[in-house]
Amino acid sequence: MVELTYSMAAENDIDFIRETYQENIASLHGNHRTNDDWRELLSDKSSQYYIVHREMPVAWFRIDMEDGELWIGMIQVKPMVHRQGVGRYILSAAENIARKKGIQRIGIHTTEDNIAARRLYLSAGYEVTEIGPCTTADGMERVGYTYQKGI
């Protein structure tokens, strides 16, 4: 079995990031973004983007730092590798990044309809710390869940 690895995203990863985002846009409640939009997002130093590889890229994730906590801002996995441990690997990778930065708490948000993500977070030891209304990128009001974990 090929092991997963991750590395910082670079500008040459934009096509992969955009494509994977589009493949998952419904579950994200997202909106269309151009390569220029992604280029701008990748240049914002307040977030860090990572590409997850097997023999080729299979996923990406973003982390943000806020008030001494690391937040996983987004996880995107190619549909062809859903339910193959990539999401769990990303959570573990983000936790390792947090530890290296001396951060002791990590969090992530999702919506009530993303059952697979909610199950993953709970099974990985994250606890629901908040449930309440949220507005997603597509402008719709939904019920949001916040999960956090001490590491």
Q: What is the pLDDT of residue 2?
A: 61
Q: In whole angstroms, give the CA distance from residue 116 to residue 150.
A: 22
Summarised one tens digit per residue, pLDDT across range 64-84 is 998 889 999 999 999 999 999
* Span 117-145, average pLDDT: 96
> Comparing C-alpha atoms, which of 119, 115, 112 is closest to residue 133?
112
Look at residue 26 in the predicted model and tell me its pLDDT: 87
pLDDT tens track for 6-45: 999 999 999 999 999 999 998 888 888 999 999 999 888 8
Task: Say if residue 92's pLDDT is above 80.
Answer: yes
Q: How confident is the model at residue 149 (pLDDT cuts 50, 70, 90)?
A: very high
Q: What is the reported pLDDT for 66?
A: 87
Residue whose entry in the numeric block shows the structure tokens 């708490």: 105
Ordered DSSP codes for 80-98? GGTTTTHHHHHHHHHHHHH
Q: Mean pLDDT of all residues in the chain?
A: 93
pTM for the full predicted model = 0.92
- pLDDT tens for residues 44-59? 888 999 999 988 999 9
Residue pair 21/76 in contact by the 8 Å Cβ criterion = yes
According to the model, what pLDDT value does residue 55 have?
85
